[in-house]
Amino acid sequence: QVQLGESGGGSVQTGGSLRLSCAASGYTASGRCMAWFRQAPGKEREGVAAVYTGSDSPYYADSAKGRFTIAHDNTKNTLYLQMNRLKPDDTAMYYCAAALGPCRWDSRGLLRADFGYWGQGTQVTVSS
């Protein structure tokens, strides 16, 4: 049984940093896509960042480029999202997602959300 457990969310002020973690069990990331999504109240779910193990080029949404870094630690089977220079617009529930295959994109070039496994989410709140 695959389980994804996020942690690391919290409340910070504008310009602060947080590191989210997603511990995976029952899942092997090798050759598969893992990602972070977020969803704020009243907004569409957004794929923030993704990593396809075996690729040197992680995906970042435009909103995350230059501020967020995604990484996967194979030894700990844990996915991370380092978030720096946080803004109030980053306030959302953040979800870890794991796929059984490679990352996939929609017609707009955005990360598709058809992942097989999801965590329960961790709240990030950024105050001005």
Q: Two tokens at 44?
A: 């569409």
* pLDDT value at residue 54: 66
Inter-CA distances, 8 with 24, 45, 57, 80, 85, Å: 15, 20, 24, 9, 16
Which whole number is the average pLDDT over 99-104? 91
* pLDDT value at residue 28: 87
Which whole number is the average pLDDT over 108-115? 90
The Cα–Cα gap between 14 and 46 comes to 20
* pLDDT value at residue 24: 96
Instruction: Name the percent of the chain lying above pLDDT 90.
Output: 84
**Which tens digit of pLDDT belongs to each residue from 19-60?**
999 999 999 888 899 999 999 999 999 999 999 876 778 999
Buried (b) or exposed (e) across 3-31, using 16+ Cβ within 10 A? ebebebbeebeeeeebebbbbbeebebee
- For Cα atoms 112, 64, 27, give the angle at the middle one, nearest 5 degrees: 50
- For Cα atoms 41, 43, 49, give the angle at the middle one, nearest 5 degrees: 105
The Cα–Cα gap between 50 and 87 comes to 20
For residue 124, what pLDDT band results from cuts at 50, 70 and 90? very high
Which whole number is the average pLDDT over 92-96? 98
